Every structure is written in structure tokens, then in C-alpha cells.
Amino acid sequence: MSWFSRLEGQLKVEDVLLSSVAEKYGTPCYVYSRSGCETGYNEYKKALEWCPGGGRVCYAVKANSNLSILSLLADLGSGFEIVSVGELERVLAAGGEGQKVVFCGVCKEEHEIRRALEVEIFCFNVESEKELELIQKVAESMKKVAPISLRVNPDIDPRTHPYISTGLKENKFGIESKKAVLVYQKAAALPNVKIIGIACHIGSQILTMEPLLEAFDCIMGLVQELKDLGITINHIDIGGGLGVQYSNDENPPSPSEYLSRIKSKLLEKSRDIPDIIVQPGRSIVAEAGVLLTRVNFIKETSNKSFAVIDASMTDLLRPSLYGAYHKIEPVDYDENKTEIECDVVGPVCESGDFIGKKRRLRIIDGDLIVVYGAGAYGHCMSSNYNSRNRPAEVLVDGNKMKLVRRRETIRDQLQLELTEFNSQ
């Protein structure tokens, strides 16, 4: 992660000291590197250059939906993968093109389908027959034709945390592979939908290529079956899911390693290759962001020590929700400080409110620390539990820093609520 480095022990993001970010914007605070996000996107773009259609990167908005992040990706030419009309409005507000949007998710509501058709999105990834019927109905009422792919569930174990596995038969996602051909035939007979592709996404934080390649084999088999039936597939959407290195023992494949295997598989089969779409989220932004937080104090008990910080599970949920590991370091490294072993915990009233367990850190009361790998599924999963304000977000570009979302205030929270008296 070349965008994070140390200058005489002091941690910088690009050319900005993290201590100066804390001084200017306070803590807790998410800090993102522009060059980190750009590198993440460009790796995919480059890895798809061999595609006859140029390939498409549709960044998964759910990973980090801050408008400035979406806007910088839109400027690079990125498409977007969305799962709600809210995400679509964010893409449009950030200057993204509706025509580069792929709409996924198990339940797209009528109003969402209507809006997506209005802005002429690139493709609906359909996850059930009922959804297909609804898309037909809405498109017909608008006298439009909806471009679609079916999202296939291949029943393959992605070997990740069970909560983020999406391609097993017990998961709610997609259409069973054995039923896919029948549903395609049904779609082919509908006047207001047009089949353009096929899609698959088997999970997130995937660390080995085998399940991804196995899923791809299943999809290629279906593409052939469909071809034999006269149904043409213009693109294969292979989803997202590539993992990142949260801890030293994780070694995810790079986008170029993964996509060169996809390329070989396609070329083995035929010369007539469909375009490839990828929908990465985490592998573009996770490593470009940190959560910057302050140690309020070290609490010693006869059993262990706790570093009680000003961030909590409401700011970064992943450790509490998945037992996820995120590397933690002091912002200013000082060898003269004694190393302590501690649980890094927040102030929320839950024993599950921790960011790290049994960490060895050279820290004292008042020190700043960073939590790495927080650019994806960080701020976007934050909440107001315990009436805590969501943290600020800052984007760094070279030696410049910019507030891209201000810290919430209690007034922000209260203004959405009505008391019995003033509600009339």
C-alpha cells in the first residue's frame, strides 16, 4: 500500500500526515487516498484490456458509496453495480452515467425498476422468475424494453464467511443453475425484455481462485446450452468478490492473475468471446482507506488491558459482525513507549463492541491509531446506535485533504424524529 508510509515514524497518507487530518477534522474519521482508489480501479481496467468489447468495470457501490469516491471513479470511466434506487441516485448525483449501471439484488421494487428504465441502465441482473415478470410488466407499461441478464446461483462454496457467501443453494441469491435455461427461454418469449447477458456472483472476500473459476465453468456451460437453443449471450458478468489482505496470512489473487485465467478459459472454448463485466467493490477501495481514531485511555483490569478508543462498532461494524481482523497501528510510532497487549474497544454498550482483540501496541492515553483496510464496508455500514454521530470522511490527494462528508451532529439525528406534540 504505497499510499500509506512513515516519515520519521509518523504515518502519512500520500503526502499528508494523519495527525494533521485528526487536528483539522477530529476523530473518529475515515481517510481515503485518491491514488489508492485509482490504482484499485486501473488494475481491473488493465486486466480486462484483452476483452474484444473492452470489458467493463462496474464498481460495487455498496462497498463505499461516498459521492466523492463515486465521482472519482466515474471520472475514470467506471460503470457501477447497484442494489437499490438509492445507490442509483448516488451514482447520478456523482456524475456517473446511468447507461453504465448494472442493477443487482434479490428484490427490485416496481418504483426502482421504473427509475432504472427511465435512465436507461445498461442491464438488470434478474434474480428470480417473479422479478422477471415484474420487469416485463413495468417495461411494458412504459413502452420500453429492459435489457437483462439472469444471475445464476451455481451452488459453489466460495470458502468465505457464511454471511457473505452468495452462491450456495441455501443462499437467497440468484436462480438455480439447473433452472436457468428454462427461465432464459421464458425471458426470450417476453416482448419487453431483451436478453443481453448472464451473471454470477458467489460471495465476497474470496481468497482462492478455484471457486471463482468453477463458477465460471458453470456459466460457460450455460452459455453453450443457450447458444444451442438460439439464445445469444453478449456478455458474461463474473461479479465481484476478490478478497484483500487484511492480515499477513491472507494472499488473495490479484485482478490480473484472476482475469488472465478467465481469458485462457474463454480462448480454450471458442474464438467468439463475449464481453466480460466485473463488479468489484472491496478490492478497489478497501486498502485505500483507514479509520483514524484516538485512544481515550487505557483501562487496566486484573484480567487484561483495554484500549478504549473514540470509534466503535457503530463506525466499523466488520469486527463485531464477522469477527473480521483489521490491522491496527499507532499513527506515531515511538519505540520508547512500552508495548502493551490489549483489546481495542469502543464506548458502545455491547461486549461485542471491539475493533481488535489481543493486539500488541506501543500506545498511551491520547494517542492516535489507525485501522487499516477500512475503505470498503466501513462508513457505509455505520449506524447511529447509542445515538452516536457517524464519523467524518476525508479524501487525500497528494498534499491536499478535503472533507467529503462532515461529521454528523446530534441535530442531524434529532431532526428526523417527531415528538408527539410537534408531529401534527
- In the numeric block, the cell 462532515 is attached to 406
User: According to CB under 6 A, which one of 66, 68, 205, 314 is a site residue for ligand LYS?
Assistant: 205
Residues 6+ apart with CB under 8 A from 323: none
Cα-to-chain-centroid distance, residue 158: 17
Q: Which of 51, 200, 218, 349 is catalytic?
A: 349
CA-CA distance, 47 to 43, in Å (whole number)?
6
**Residue 139, C-alpha cell as written in the block:** 417495461
CA-CA distance, 206 to 92, in Å (whole number)?
30
- Compute the least distance from the CB of residue 182 to ligand LYS, in Å: 26
| Residue 37 appears among annotated catalytic residues | no
Residue number with CB closer to ligand LYS (164 or 298)? 164
Residues 6+ apart with CB under 8 A from 115: 85, 88
Q: Which of residues 59-98 bind ligand LYS (CB under 6 A)?
A: 62
Q: Which of residues 152-181 bind ligand PLP (CB under 6 A)?
A: 166
Strand ranges, E, within 363-406? 368-371, 392-397, 400-405
User: According to CB under 6 A, which one of 59, 80, 354, 377 is a site residue for ligand LYS?
Assistant: 377
Residue nearest to ligand PLP (CB): 240
Report the amino acid identity of residue 5. S
CA-CA distance, 414 to 395, in Å (whole number)?
27
Report the DSSP pairing between strands 56-60 and 79-82: parallel
Return the half-sphere exposure (C-beta side, CA atoms, 13 A cut-off) of residue 26: 10
Q: Which of residues 280-319 bind ligand LYS (CB under 6 A)?
A: 318
User: According to CB under 6 A, which one of 149, 153, 204, 314 is a site residue for ligand PLP?
Assistant: 204
Residue number with CB closer to ligand LYS (103 or 377)? 377
Among ligand PLP, ligand LYS, none, the one that 81 touches (CB under a kind-dependent 5 to 8 A) is: ligand PLP
User: According to CB under 6 A, which one of 167, 174, 197, 241 is a site residue for ligand PLP?
Assistant: 241
CA-CA distance, 220 to 237, in Å (whole number)?
11
- Compute the least distance from the CB of residue 161 to ligand LYS, in Å: 7
**Residue 237, C-alpha cell as written in the block:** 458478468
Per-residue binding string, ligand PLP, 254-283, x by CB under 6 A, is: -------------------------xxxxx
Residues that bind ligand PLP (CB under 6 A): 60, 63, 81, 104, 166, 201, 204, 239-241, 279-283
Residues that bind ligand LYS (CB under 6 A): 62, 164, 204-205, 318, 377
Catalytic residues: 349
